[in-house]
Every structure is written in structure tokens, then in C-alpha cells.
């Protein structure tokens, strides 16, 4: 579970990346899930878009893909969404530390 500080940090990183995942008409297929999974393993942070002819809203698409890939939804704005999943073997993004409650 991401803290608001970590989420804000990931949103700032996502500003500079390109949209690589497109959800079009029809179901969210295994191919889209495989694409997202591979990209999350390689990059940890990906940006996607629900096209106008999609049967899903961008929030629905983001939550379905995140659930199937074990990722977290960082942000949904308009038709775009950002997903994050830490790579356990080779982490690329260092998240801000969370403060422990005393």
C-alpha cells in the first residue's frame, strides 16, 4: 500500500513517461494483461490510456489491470492512468521512506 507521499513521488515520475498501454473496445484481453505485466517488470511505472471506444472507464481499466498484475493504481486523470509495481529482483525506483508511528 502506497502512502500519499510515495504516490505523489510516483506521479511526478510519471509526468515524463509515454503512454504505452492502450485499452480499446472489447474486453481487457490476456494480451493486454501480459503487456502490462512485462512492462511493469521492466519499468515498474507505466502509463496507460482507455480509448474513447473502450467499454471501460479509465478507472475501471486501471483497477482491473492492476488487480490482475499485482500492481497499484497511482493516478487516474481523464482517460489516462498510471500503474506501479516494484520489481523484487532489480528495483529501479527508490520510494520515499515512510515514517513509523511511535
CATH number, domain with residue 12: 3.30.110.60
Q: Is 12 inside a domain boundary?
A: yes
**CB of 2 within 8 A of CB of 10?**
yes
Other Cβ atoms within 10 Å of 92 Cβ, number: 10
Domain range spanning residue 65?
4-84
Q: Is 8 inside a domain boundary?
A: yes
Q: Count up the domains in the chain and report the number.
A: 1
* Share above pLDDT 90 across residues of the chain, in percent, rounded to a whole number: 75
pLDDT of the residue at 102: 52
**CB of 44 within 8 A of CB of 83?**
no
Q: Is 27 inside a domain boundary?
A: yes
Q: Is 24 inside a domain boundary?
A: yes
Alpha carbon 56 to its chain's center: 16
Q: Is 39 inside a domain boundary?
A: yes
pLDDT digits (tens, 9 = 90+) for 55-98: 999 999 999 999 999 999 999 999 999 999 999 888 888 888 87
Rounded to two decimals, the pTM is 0.91
Amino acid at each position: 500500500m502506497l502512502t500519499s507521499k510515495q504516490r505523489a513521488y510516483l506521479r511526478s515520475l510519471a509526468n515524463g513517461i509515454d503512454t504505452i498501454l492502450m485499452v480499446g473496445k472489447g474486453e481487457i484481453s490476456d494480451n493486454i494483461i501480459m503487456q502490462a505485466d512485462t512492462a511493469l517488470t521492466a519499468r515498474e511505472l507505466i502509463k496507460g490510456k482507455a480509448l474513447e471506444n473502450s467499454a471501460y472507464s479509465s478507472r475501471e481499466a486501471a483497477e482491473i489491470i492492476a488487480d490482475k498484475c499485482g500492481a497499484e493504481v497511482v493516478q487516474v486523470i481523464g482517460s489516462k492512468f498510471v500503474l506501479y509495481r516494484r520489481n523484487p529482483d532489480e528495483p529501479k525506483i527508490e520510494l520515499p521512506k515512510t515514517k513509523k508511528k511511535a
